[in-house]
Amino acid sequence: MKLNVRAFALTGGILWGIAVFLFTWWVIMFEGASGEPTVIGLLYRGYTLSPAGSVIGLVWGFFDGLIGGALFAWLYNRLAR
């Protein structure tokens, strides 16, 4: 079975972007917003535990998941031959 690289990449990007967005709001709901740097903030430039940071994380997460999904599907197709 061959994976559609474009579809897998878009799925990965959408899921990872939404996951980062929801995770940020989950932490804000229980811990409160803070401008302190986080581990994710070290990877995603501009990300903080704030409402604006959740949108920044959504965008970074989308592109990160897009690239990761495309690489995964491409590598899977190469190895599944």
Which pTM does this prediction carry?
0.89
Predicted local distance difference test score (pLDDT) of residue 58: 98
Cβ neighbours around 52 below 10 Å, total: 11
Task: Please report, for the chain, the start and end positions of each structural domain, with discontinuous segments joined by +.
Answer: 5-79
Between residues 40 and 67, the one the model is more confident about: 67
Task: Give the H or E element holding residue 72.
Answer: helix 51-79
- Dihedral angle, C-alpha 66, 11, 57, 29, nearest 10 °: -160
- The stretch 61-72 carries a mean pLDDT of 98
